[in-house]
Structure 1
Amino acid sequence: MNINSTLFLQAVVFAILVWFTMKYVWPPITKALDERAQKISDGLAAADKAKSELTSANKRVEEELAKTRTETATRLADAERRGQAIIEEAKARATEEANKIVAAARVEAEQQTVKARETLREQVATLAVKGAEQILRKEVNAGVHADLLSRLKTEL
């Protein structure tokens, strides 16, 4: 055999092998590789999308937390103000009630003072009459001298 013919025959067999591979073997391999590349690119796109969604969700969570914190601080401040207002109102009512009680006690004390003075005048008038009886050594009629006794009361 001649080396040229062997080389030519091997080139023909190689060409047939290349043609067969390109026709029947290569398309399924390229299809599988393309599908695999598509799955990988879809997975990377989904990961990027999930990452951006996570970042967006974190931002929304932070905004909601900040909003909630400010609302809570506002509500606490309002509650504090209401508590102080209630305390001040209770103090004012207590002061007003104390003033009413003190005024009532003063009125009652004044009434008791007037009553005690009247009682004292009665007692002094009775003592004066008894003293006058003893001085005069005779009984003074209280009914006859009612005018005298009433003047004596007013003077005392």
Structure 2
Amino acid sequence: MNINATLFAQAIVFAILVWFTMKFVWPPIAKALDERALKISEGLASAEKAKSELAVANKRVEEELSKSRNESATRLADAERRAQIVIEEAKARATEEASKIVATARQEADQQVIKARELLREEVAALAVKGAEQILKREVNAGIHAELLGRLKSEL
């Protein structure tokens, strides 16, 4: 065999192999590679989308947490204010009640003082009558009697 004919035959077989590969083998491989590249790019896109959605969801969660913290702080402050108001109202009521009790006690004390004064007046009147009886039993002298009555008036 001639080396040129062998080379020429191998070149033809190689050309047929290249044509067959390009016609029947290469398109399914290229199609599979394109599909794989498309799937990978779609996966990367969905991963990016999921990542951005996660970031948005985390931001929303932080906003909700912040809002709920603020609401709870506001509610706590309101509760404290209400408690202070209730305490102040209770103190005011207690002060008012204490004032009423003190006023009632003062009125009762004043009434007892008035009663005591009246009892004293009655006793003084009785003593004056006894004194007058003793004076009348001894003697009747207008000067001495006027002096005694003046003393009694100053003592009352």
TM-score by length of structure 2 reads 0.78
Q: Measure the CA separation in 2 of the matches of 1:87 and 1:93.
A: 10
1:73 counterpart = 2:73: yes
RMSD: 2.3
1:118 counterpart = 2:118: yes
- 1:119 is aligned with what amino acid? L
Bigger RCO of structures 1 and 2 (CA < 8 A, at least 6 apart): 2
> Equivalent pairs: percent with the same residue?
80
Structure 2 counterparts to residues 6-155 of structure 1, below 5 A: 6-134=6-134, 136=136
> How much has 1:136 moved relative to structure 2?
4.7
Query: Paired residues, what number?
Result: 141
Unaligned runs of 5+ in 1: 138-151
Unaligned runs of 5+ in 2: 138-151
> How much has 1:135 moved relative to structure 2?
5.2
- 2:56 is aligned with what amino acid? S
Q: Measure the CA separation in 2 of the matches of 1:10 and 1:112.
A: 145
TM-score by length of structure 1 reads 0.78
Q: Measure the CA separation in 2 of the matches of 1:85 and 1:92.
A: 10
TM-superposition CA deviations, 1:27-86 (whole Å, max 9, x none): 221122122111111111111111111111111122222222222222222222222222
Q: Measure the CA separation in 2 of the matches of 1:2 and 1:10.
A: 12
Q: Measure the CA separation in 2 of the matches of 1:55 and 1:96.
A: 60
